[in-house]
């Protein structure tokens, strides 16, 4: 998991909440079109925030592998009333996917 993505999203909690709301519709059995609609909606939230800041976007895409802050991040996410497993397993991979698509 990319810790920098999660740290950035926690600093931008309004965006995190909106992304989590959109990502809550993600199900494995959705059609490709339905999945793409979710990715597109998330991208429409993230891109304006990242636009013009290539340094931030590049930093978010780095895989730093630093797990020292995971328990703190879990506590912060839980304090927002958002399920940590949902953020870890669904939201973060979708955000990274959007960043990878845009970053290429």
Confidence (pTM): 0.65
| Average pLDDT score over the chain | 76
Return the closest-CA partner of residue 89 out of 20, 32, 38, 29. Answer: 20
Q: Tell me the CA distances in angstroms from 92 to 5, 45, one per residue in order.
A: 7, 14
CA dist., res. 63 & res. 4, Å (int): 8
Give the pLDDT mean for 16-29. 88
41 confidence band (pLDDT: 50, 70, 90): very high
97 confidence band (pLDDT: 50, 70, 90): confident
Q: Tell me the CA distances in angstroms from 40 to 37, 50, 85, 88, 102, one per residue in order.
A: 5, 15, 22, 19, 11
């Amino acid at each position: 998991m990319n810790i920098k993505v999660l740290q950035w999203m926690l600093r931008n909690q309004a965006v995190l909440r909106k992304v989590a709301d959109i990502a809550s519709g993600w199900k494995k059995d959705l059609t490709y079109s339905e999945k793409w609609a979710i990715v597109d909606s998330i991208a429409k939230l993230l891109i304006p925030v990242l636009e013009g800041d290539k340094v931030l976007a590049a930093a978010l895409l780095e895989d730093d592998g630093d797990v020292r802050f995971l328990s703190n991040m879990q506590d912060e996410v839980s304090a927002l009333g958002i399920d940590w497993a949902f953020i870890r397993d669904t939201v973060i991979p979708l955000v990274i996917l959007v960043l990878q698509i845009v970053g290429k």
